[in-house]
């Protein structure tokens, strides 16, 4: 295949890309370009697009020569008009959008509808065949690409990374992931760093670095960098890609022959090294390559002014209109495209067979989903009799369950645990009975639970883990992301982007359901008293509940048996985001496995053992530590006022909308005291539309914390048993159930307890036995 065919392909793609940015009519320039042919709003980005087209064309050629299984991840999301142009040329777009025919009508359809109301978005999105990345925010491409190749030994994911994108924290942190990839059982990622030198209004850091600096940087990250630049890029790029493929095949071939123990790799053949030197390309082309060179005295091509819309006043400025027409006609698109029969034969010669086209790679459509084999939750449950008996932690139960999941799916290779160096801390380390942490650097004899084929992905970058699990599950496998609750906030924006992707994907008929994105949030703020204020933050659940989506589920299992029921349910769901907020300390067991399932099915449940008929006050809790305090408050109130009628409601799943049978749980008119794991405002916004909000009193984390004792965390935020009991007494006084003298006596008594508690912990450093040894007594 000649470089002339590639050049024709890129010319065609560049024209279609530019036309999408500007034209609402006269798509083939069959008449002189006029202002009325220009879209009323010019949206999108040009600068990165020529490089995208160049890379896509060359990858097509490589795939065709070797019949590769290759996925394409576009990092510069606003380079989407280029991706759309390639999907059109390879005829994948027509498969999913029948109007995108390869004739004048189909060309007009995609050009007119780009960045048009109810048309195609301006950035990469789930409506684009082959996409596994929402392109609205930069930095997530490399980690997502690595996630896609885990346990996909025959897949190569080519990821195009912009040099502006490369300045983001998530992208910068993702380069070392290559050292966790096992060439014996995983596929390969081919990073292509596109250095066009500029971001939106200035130069990029990498774009101004010398080749020596660039090679040193990426060699240190464990790559074998190949720089492609200069006048002969059309000749150099195919050679670089062939060399990259050869290195990948050598690394994988040797690792698979030796059973996963990688000793040599590619360019270092014969030299013992610690980890594979995976190839990467550094492609240098001008910003806005092939577009308008200058406008007036302003340099455009090769400058930041080519980043977005070039000639933004083209509709009203005749000079700019003329420049645009000259630019578009320079591609001689009429030589490349017949309005009746489609593209020139040389362009079609570049394309792989339909089954190998990147836009139709089935790894991106959910069609390769491997189902999990799950054990019954009851197998790992513990007796809950007597009620409130102190048992093992929720995370210990979860660890035992997940270890069984690994065992049952050892041959399927369809499940991984993602954690930022916290598997031990979060008490999930029972999984290491079956697997280990993935590691492809040297392993010392004293190292613990490291293995080249390990299935626990640990790296101290929440961004990298979020990208990995997204790439993993969007290509059909299952995973859990376990994190300290306070620091999962680091990926709130990434989770938001993923939620948007899933929302649209669920509405896209040709995308198959994919496994859920599951989070375990543990080491919660309520038991981070020893680490202090910085570790006390329940904000992630609030952010996800803002999504107004029925596929977002936030669970607060009150004990270990409930955690098992929730965890199993989460691993069965598809096209959803599940959050499990549960502790790792030894806490009471409240429910039998059957009761836990009932609580989960209903989302909330009246706990009969702590409830009276026809209650005068209702207490409710969401969260394990908050449940214990609410129940302790009930026991205090009943001890002080035996005739008080109280009800306890446990909220296991918090939803953005209240159930229609809300009053069945909370009565129609009685006061309700909520004890909530997160910020009170999270619950308040859910309750806002009710007409009787004056009967709700909501307790939760109110940003009061420090290095203190566990119970003092509750006291400082007024979620402790004594504050709750004091409020019960006040409500009983309002209803005439106790006298004002008795109410005043009780208020003083428990106010004194609060004062004495503070004195006690300042003297001893720990909570009193009254708190630490408390047990439920009905």
Q: Check if the beta carbon of residue 73 is closer than 8 Å to that of residue 144.
A: yes
Structure confidence by residue, pLDDT tens digits, 561-593? 999 999 999 999 999 999 999 999 999 999 999
Q: Tell me the mean pLDDT in the region 141-169.
A: 97
The residues, ordered by sequence, that sit 6+ positions from 20 with a Cβ below 8 Å of its Cβ are 44, 81, 84, 85, 110, 111, 114, 115
Q: Is 159 left (phi over 0), alpha (psi -120 to 50) or beta?
A: beta
pLDDT of residue 1: 57
**Of 116-120, 248-252, 587-591, 657-661, which range is least confident?**
657-661
SS3 for 655? Answer: coil
SS3 for 144? Answer: helix
Task: Please tell me the distance from the alpha carbon of residue 396 to that of residue 380, in angstroms, as a whole number.
Answer: 10
Structure confidence by residue, pLDDT tens digits, 474-487? 999 999 999 999 99
Chain mean pLDDT for the chain: 94
Does residue 66 have a pLDDT over 50? yes
pLDDT of residue 265: 40
pLDDT of residue 549: 80
Q: Check if the beta carbon of residue 435 is closer than 8 Å to that of residue 406.
A: yes
Structure confidence by residue, pLDDT tens digits, 166-196? 999 999 999 999 999 999 999 999 999 999 9
High-pLDDT (> 70) share of the chain, %: 98
pLDDT of residue 275: 63
The residues, ordered by sequence, that sit 6+ positions from 668 with a Cβ below 8 Å of its Cβ are none
pLDDT of residue 250: 97
pLDDT of residue 347: 96
CA 499, distance to chain mean position in Å, is 8
What are 317-324's contacts with CB under 8 Å, separation 24+? 319/295, 320/295, 321/33, 321/34, 321/35, 321/38, 323/292, 323/295, 324/22, 324/33, 324/292
What are the backbone dihedrals phi and psi of residue 190, each rounded to the nearest 5 degrees, phi first? -110, 95
Task: Please tell me the distance from the alpha carbon of residue 33 to that of residue 326, in angstroms, as a whole number.
Answer: 10
pLDDT of residue 391: 80
Task: Please tell me the distance from the alpha carbon of residue 152 to that of residue 222, in angstroms, as a whole number.
Answer: 21
Cα separations (Å) of 157 from 32, 160, 360, 401, 506? 42, 10, 13, 32, 24
Structure tokens at 774: 């408390």
Structure confidence by residue, pLDDT tens digits, 94-103? 999 999 999 9
Task: Please tell me the distance from the alpha carbon of residue 593 to that of residue 285, in angstroms, as a whole number.
Answer: 62
Confidence of residue 135 (pLDDT cuts 50, 70, 90): confident
Q: Tell me the mean pLDDT in the region 40-64.
A: 97
pLDDT of residue 656: 78
Least Cα distance to 117 among 16, 36, 43 occurs for 43
pLDDT of residue 77: 84
Place of tokens 């048309």: 119
CA 60, distance to chain mean position in Å, is 29
Q: Which domains does the chain have, with CATH numbers?
A: 3-364 (3.40.50.970), 377-589 (3.40.50.970), 610-772 (3.40.50.920)
pLDDT of residue 3: 86
Q: Which residues of 689-700 are buried (b: 16+ CB within 10 A; e: fewer)?
A: eeeeeebbbbbb
Task: Please tell me the distance from the alpha carbon of residue 468 to that of residue 491, in angstroms, as a whole number.
Answer: 12
Does residue 364 have a pLDDT over 70? yes
Give just the sign of the alpha carbon dihedral 767, 768, 772, 776: negative
Reduced to 3 DSSP states, what percent helix, strand and coil does the chain have, rounded to the nearest 5?
A: 45, 15, 40
Which of 442-446, 465-469, 660-664 has maximum average pLDDT?
465-469
pLDDT of residue 775: 93
């Amino acid at each position: 295949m000649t470089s002339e065919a590639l050049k024709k392909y890129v010319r065609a793609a560049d024209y279609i890309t530019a036309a999408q940015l500007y034209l609402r009519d006269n798509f083939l320039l069959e008449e002189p370009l006029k202002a009325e042919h220009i879209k009323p709003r010019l949206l999108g980005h040009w600068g990165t697009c020529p490089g995208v087209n160049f890379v896509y064309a060359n990858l097509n050629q490589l795939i065709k020569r070797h019949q590769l299984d290759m996925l394409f991840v576009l990092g510069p999301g606003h380079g989407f008009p280029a991706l759309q142009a390639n999907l059109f040329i390879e005829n994948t777009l027509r498969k999913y959008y029948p109007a995108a025919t390869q004739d004048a009508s189909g060309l007009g359809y995609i050009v007119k509808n780009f960045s048009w109301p109810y048309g195609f978005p301006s950035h990469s999105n789930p409506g684009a065949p082959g996409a596994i990345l929402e392109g609205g925010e930069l930095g997530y491409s490399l980690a997502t690409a690595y996630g896609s190749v885990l346990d996909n030994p025959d897949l190569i994911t080519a990821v195009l990374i912009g040099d502006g994108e490369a300045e983001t924290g998530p992208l910068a942190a993702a380069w070392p992931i290559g050292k966790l990839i096992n060439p014996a059982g995983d596929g390969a990622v081919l990073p292509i760093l596109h250095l066009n030198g500029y971001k939106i209004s200035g130069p990029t850091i990498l774009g101004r670095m010398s080749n020596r600096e660039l090679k040193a940087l990426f060699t240190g990250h464990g790559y074998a960098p190949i720089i492609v630049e200069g006048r002969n890029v059309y000749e150099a790029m195919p050679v670089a890609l062939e060399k990259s493929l050869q290195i990948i095949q050598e690394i994988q071939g040797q690792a698979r022959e030796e059973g996963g123990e990688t000793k040599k790799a590619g360019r270092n053949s014969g030299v013992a090294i610690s980890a594979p030197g995976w190839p990467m390309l550094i492609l240098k082309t001008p910003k806005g390559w092939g577009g308008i060179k200058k406008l007036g005295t302003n340099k455009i091509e090769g400058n930041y002014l080519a980043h977005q819309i070039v000639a933004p006043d083209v509709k009203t400025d005749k000079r700019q209109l003329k420049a645009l027409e000259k630019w578009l006609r320079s591609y001689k698109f009429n030589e490349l495209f017949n309005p009746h029969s489609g593209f020139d034969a040389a362009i079609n010669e570049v394309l792989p067979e339909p089954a190998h086209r990147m836009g139709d790679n089935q790894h991106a459509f959910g069609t390769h989903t491997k189902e999990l084999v799950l054990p019954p939750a009851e197998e790992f449950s513990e007796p809950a009799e007597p009620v409130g008996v102190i048992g093992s932690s929720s995370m210990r139960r979860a660890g035992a369950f997940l270890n069984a999941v690994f065992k049952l799916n050892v041959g399927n290779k369809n499940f991984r645990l993602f954690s930022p160096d916290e598997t031990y801390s979060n008490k999930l380390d029972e999984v290491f009975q079956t697997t280990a942490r993935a590691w492809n650097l040297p392993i010392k004899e004293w190292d613990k639970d490291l293995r080249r084929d390990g299935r626990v992905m640990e790296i101290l970058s929440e961004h990298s883990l979020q990208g990995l699990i997204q790439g993993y599950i969007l290509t059909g496998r299952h995973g859990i992301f376990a994190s300290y609750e306070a620091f999962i906030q680091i990926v709130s924006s990434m989770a938001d982007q993923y939620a948007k992707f899933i929302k649209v994907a669920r509405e896209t008929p040709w995308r198959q359901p994919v496994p859920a994105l599951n989070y375990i949030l543990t080491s919660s703020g309520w038991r981070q008293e020893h680490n202090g204020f910085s570790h006390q933050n329940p904000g992630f659940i609030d952010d996800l509940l803002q999504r107004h989506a029925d596929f977002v589920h936030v669970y607060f299992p009150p004990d270990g048996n409930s955690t098992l029921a929730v965890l199993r349910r989460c691993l069965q769901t598809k096209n959803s985001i599940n959050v499990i907020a549960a502790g790792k300390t030894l806490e009471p067991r409240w429910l039998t496995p059957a009761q836990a399932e009932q609580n989960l099915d209903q989302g909330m449940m009246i706990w009969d053992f702590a409830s009276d008929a026809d209650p005068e006050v209702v207490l409710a809790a969401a969260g394990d530590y908050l449940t214990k305090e609410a129940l302790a408050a009930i026991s205090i109130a009943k001890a002080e006022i035996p005739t008080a009628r109280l009800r306890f409601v446990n909220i296991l799943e918090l939803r953005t909308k209240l159930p229609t049978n809300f009053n069945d749980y909370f009565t129609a008119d009685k006061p309700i005291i909520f004890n909530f794991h997160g910020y009170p405002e999270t619950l308040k916004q859910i309750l806002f539309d009710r007409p009787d909000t004056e009967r709700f009193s909501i307790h939760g984390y109110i940003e009061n914390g420090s290095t203190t004792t566990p119970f003092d965390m509750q006291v400082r935020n007024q979620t402790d048993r004594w504050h709750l009991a004091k409020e019960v007494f006040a409500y009983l006084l309002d209803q005439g159930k106790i006298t004002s003298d008795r109410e005043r006596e009780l208020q003083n008594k428990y106010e004194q307890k609060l004062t004495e508690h503070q004195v006690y912990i300042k003297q001893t450093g720990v909570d009193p036995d009254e708190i630490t040894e408390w047990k439920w007594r009905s």
